[in-house]
């Protein structure tokens, strides 16, 4: 092609347009654009998480709870009723079954149970249990011993923050029927001091170690006594699968279930059974919550094994 004077002038103009200054501008724009995209993306994620009602943060909901659901699904073949995802997730079962509009809403006509844990708190196992309860819109009652309560104050705070109930299980797991009245008072008061120091609240219910009580003890105590209906014997088996089977094959509406959060196998069992219980329609709550929804008053001088009946 001929390099005519006209073509030469056009080249000179283009050189001015796309010369060093243009290249610098292009380079700066190339850096600014990815930064703009990243900023907008992070802002969108923040806004989604900040809004509890936003449907578009569901990816986080699924990612956070899939591990728990998958653990439950591993045991599907062992039970007559297969585990299936209902709605978005097993934890949303009640939306489908009872038409709940709020995951924390309680249906007094639907079955409910109270899960209880003795001898803790334990920083690792109790935290795992609280995680699965929270993921499934559930609560429980933790009967703590003072020696652990003093040592693990942060775990007590976590129990309270999760909306769970803290009960008194004596300072060092003493048999309250074999010690003096002054010793009984000291065993319980030391637990209350540890719990109040961590949470600002005292314990609400008492579970005497070994389930041992008599009329004299009941007359002395300043909080209702809570026993249990279903003993998982997790302390004996130390086997998550056996604990799961003990609950799923026997539990019924109104039951108080006994477990211990000092065992890793129990924490694993809870991770498996809670989604399954929710899928079956059970509402899982603390002892005092269940008593309230069942229309029962927890009275002094009585020992409650469940809310179909009480023992004295």
> What are the φ/ψ torsions at residue 255 (nearest 5 degrees)?
-75, 145
- List the beta bridge partners of residue 259: 117
What the block records as the tokens of 204 is 């609400």
| Residue that is written with structure tokens 């803790």 in the block | 120
The active-site residue, picked from 92, 118, 119, 255, is 118
What the block records as the tokens of 309 is 């009946």
Taking phi first (over 0 means left), then psi (-120 to 50 degrees means alpha), and beta for anything else, what does residue 51 get?
Answer: beta
The active-site residue, picked from 92, 234, 260, 261, is 260
Q: Is 118 a catalytic residue?
A: yes
What the block records as the tokens of 80 is 């007559």
What the block records as the tokens of 56 is 């578009």
**Angle formed by the axes of helices 264-279 and 240-248, to 10°?**
30
Closest CA to 243 of 232, 255, 258: 232
Q: Is 131 a catalytic residue?
A: no
Residues catalogued as catalytic: 118, 260
């Amino acid at each position: 092609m001929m390099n005519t004077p006209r073509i030469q002038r056009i080249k000179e103009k283009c050189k001015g347009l796309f010369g060093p200054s243009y290249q610098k501008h292009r380079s700066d724009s190339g850096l600014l654009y990815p930064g703009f995209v990243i900023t907008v993306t992070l802002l969108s994620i923040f806004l989604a998480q900040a809004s509890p009602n936003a449907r578009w943060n569901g990816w986080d909901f699924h990612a956070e709870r899939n591990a728990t659901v998958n653990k439950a699904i591993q045991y599907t073949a062992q039970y007559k009723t297969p585990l299936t995802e209902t709605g978005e997730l097993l934890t949303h079962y009640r939306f489908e079954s009872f038409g709940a509009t709020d995951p924390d809403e309680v249906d007094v006509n639907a079955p409910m149970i109270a899960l209880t844990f003795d001898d803790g708190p334990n920083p690792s196992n109790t935290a795992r249990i609280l995680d699965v309860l929270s993921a499934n819109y559930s609560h429980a009652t933790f009967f703590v011993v003072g020696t652990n309560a003093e040592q693990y104050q942060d775990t007590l705070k976590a129990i309270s923050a999760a909306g769970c109930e803290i009960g008194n299980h004596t300072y060092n797991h003493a048999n309250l029927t074999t010690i003096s009245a002054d010793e009984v008072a000291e065993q319980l008061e030391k637990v209350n001091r540890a719990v109040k120091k961590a949470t600002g609240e005292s314990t609400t219910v008492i579970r005497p170690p070994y389930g041992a009580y008599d009329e004299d003890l009941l007359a002395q105590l300043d909080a209702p006594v809570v026993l249990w209906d279903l003993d998982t014997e997790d302390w004996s088996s130390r086997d998550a699968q056996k604990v799961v089977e003990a609950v799923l094959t026997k539990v019924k509406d109104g039951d108080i279930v006994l477990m211990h959060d000092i065992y890793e196998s129990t924490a694993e069992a809870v991770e498996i059974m809670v989604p399954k219980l929710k899928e079956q329609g059970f509402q899982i709550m603390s002892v005092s919550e269940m008593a309230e929804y069942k229309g029962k008053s927890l009275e002094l001088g009585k020992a409650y094994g469940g809310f179909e009946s009480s023992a004295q």
